[in-house]
A = this chain, B = another copy of it.
Amino acid sequence: MSKKNLKLGLFGFGCVGQGLYHVLHETHGVKAEIKKICVKHHNKTRPISESFFTFNKEEILNDPEIDVVVELIDDAKAAFEIVKTALEHGKAVVTANKKMLAEHLEEIYDLQRKHGKPVLYEGSVCGSIPILRNLEEYYDNDLINSIEGIFNGSTNYILTKVFEEKKSYSDALKKAQELGFAESDPSLDVQGYDPKYKLVIAIAHTFGVFVKPEEVINIGIDRISDLDLKFARDNGYFIKLIARAFKADGKIYGFVAPQFIEAVNPLASVRNEFNAVQVQGAFAEKQLFIGKGAGSYPTGSAVLSDISALTYDYAYEYKKLLQGDNHEFSNALLVDVFVSFELGTNITIQDFAKFESGYAAQGKQYMVGQVSLSKLQQWSALEGVGIILAPNSSFVALDSASTDLVEELKSA
């Protein structure tokens, strides 16, 4: 296979961009070189020669010599404009911008077909873990039933510290922020938006369905209380923020929520800033991929892998989409859940489709049973309400007349 010598135009030179620069210069396997880097701030000191930099995006987008635009900026709106223009100008694109991708994936799919140029984005889902490439290439013949895992490193770091060092949630968050594992505004992470964006992208490559981020329910870890932590510890559980999607009765379900995880579950051993993705297929059965989900080198490495793939004209084929099974996305689901709240909160036994047990003491209360996802979404907006899925939650379709048990995703 003859490889092309690619010229790259970068947008952004933050942690991933710098990681990419170094990775590209320390390996000799990839025929690609950075021609220009477009940055925003005029008065920053840059670690490499000034001649690489421009403040004018046209210098990249209008340069016919540049084959590939590597988009690594924060601003999702500006990023989408860059991707769109790059494709219109006949350039391939590599990006790791999960928010932008999740919000515009169907448009980006259409733009790729219209302009005949690929967009690759392995770095957008769980950093260094090659999950999209495997979903596209390796599992294209496998009937995948579910994909789930730990899609966010910041929250996993916080939860690891909470359990291993018996820290409170707020102390662990502070520590994560000090170490750069959590943003100064951590809400995208701790409320589950970041893993939701990744899940939306994964759903397209797993089941061939485009779903909008706002259709997917995300429940965060920011309302987890000391009572919840005590309950977990007393029962030998960890808590992990799990993103999952699965197929049942021809529909696709997907959401993000914290879950109790038994020590014997391989996800329990996924610690600190590591991510994990578990794919369950009809034939390959359970496959678990664990790796660093963020950071300049791990993400830079994923971005470089995409660039390398472009040297031999690789493009996502979106095979499941083209197989045309046309699965519908649905939130009509009952899950087994542990809910904790303060006395006086408007949560009652009648809210449960199936009530299992409850306990109240010292102004706090918890209830365990089967609740609809949409009810959980309402509760998650209430102050002081902790929501955590049962360790082996069943998932029951609400709109099937019989409310049959559609799937039981055993955790181990």
Question: A302 CA to B137 CA in the complex, in Å?
Answer: 12
B304 touches A141 (CB 8 A): yes
B141 touches A134 (CB 8 A): no
B266 touches A290 (CB 8 A): yes
Classify chain A's interface size.
35 or more
A288, A304, A323, most chain B CB atoms within 10 A = A288
Interface residues of A in 295-347 (CB under 8 A from B): 295, 297-298, 300-302, 304-305, 308-309, 317, 319, 323
CB-nearest residue of chain B to A290: B288
Q: Is A251 an interface residue (CB 8 A)?
A: no
CB-nearest residue of chain B to A317: B1
| Distance in Å: Cβ of A263 to nearest Cβ of chain B | 9
Partner of A269 from the list B264, B308, B309 (CB cut-off 8 Å) is: B264
Contacting residues, chain B, for A137 (C-beta < 8 A): 133, 137, 309
Looking at A87-95, A107-115, A187-195, A277-285, the stretch in contact with chain B turns out to be A277-285
Proximity string of chain A (128-148) to chain B, C-beta cutoff 8 Å, 1 when within and 0 when not: 111001100111111100000
Question: A269 CA to B261 CA in the complex, in Å?
Answer: 13
Partner of A266 from the list B270, B305, B317 (CB cut-off 8 Å) is: B270
**Known pairs A138-B130, A143-B27, A270-B266; A291 contacts B287 (CB<8 A):** yes
A289 touches B292 (CB 8 A): no
| Distance in Å: Cβ of A272 to nearest Cβ of chain B | 10
B26 touches A282 (CB 8 A): yes
Partner of A283 from the list B138, B270, B288, B304 (CB cut-off 8 Å) is: B304
Q: Is A268 an interface residue (CB 8 A)?
A: yes
Proximity string of chain A (1-43) to chain B, C-beta cutoff 8 Å, 1 when within and 0 when not: 1000000000000000001000100111110000000000000
Q: Is A364 an interface residue (CB 8 A)?
A: no
B291 touches A29 (CB 8 A): no
Contacting residues, chain B, for A289 (C-beta < 8 A): 287-290
CB-nearest residue of chain B to A309: B137
A130, A141, A270, A283, most chain B CB atoms within 10 A = A283
| Distance in Å: Cβ of A15 to nearest Cβ of chain B | 13
B269 touches A305 (CB 8 A): no
Q: Is A98 an interface residue (CB 8 A)?
A: no
Contacting residues, chain B, for A283 (C-beta < 8 A): 19, 23, 27, 128, 297-298, 300-301, 304
B269 touches A266 (CB 8 A): yes
Question: A132 CA to B289 CA in the complex, in Å?
Answer: 14
Partner of A297 from the list B29, B268, B285, B288 (CB cut-off 8 Å) is: B285
**Known pairs A141-B27, A264-B271, A290-B290; A128 contacts B285 (CB<8 A):** yes
Q: Is A174 an interface residue (CB 8 A)?
A: no
Q: Is A286 an interface residue (CB 8 A)?
A: yes
| Distance in Å: Cβ of A280 to nearest Cβ of chain B | 10
Question: A265 CA to B268 CA in the complex, in Å?
Answer: 11
Contacting residues, chain B, for A304 (C-beta < 8 A): 141-142, 283
CB-nearest residue of chain B to A129: B287
**Known pairs A128-B284, A284-B292, A302-B284; A138 contacts B143 (CB<8 A):** no
| Distance in Å: Cβ of A386 to nearest Cβ of chain B | 26
Contacting residues, chain B, for A30 (C-beta < 8 A): 141
What are 6 pairs between A and B in contact, CB < 8 Å? Answer: A29-B323, A130-B138, A140-B308, A266-B269, A283-B300, A283-B301
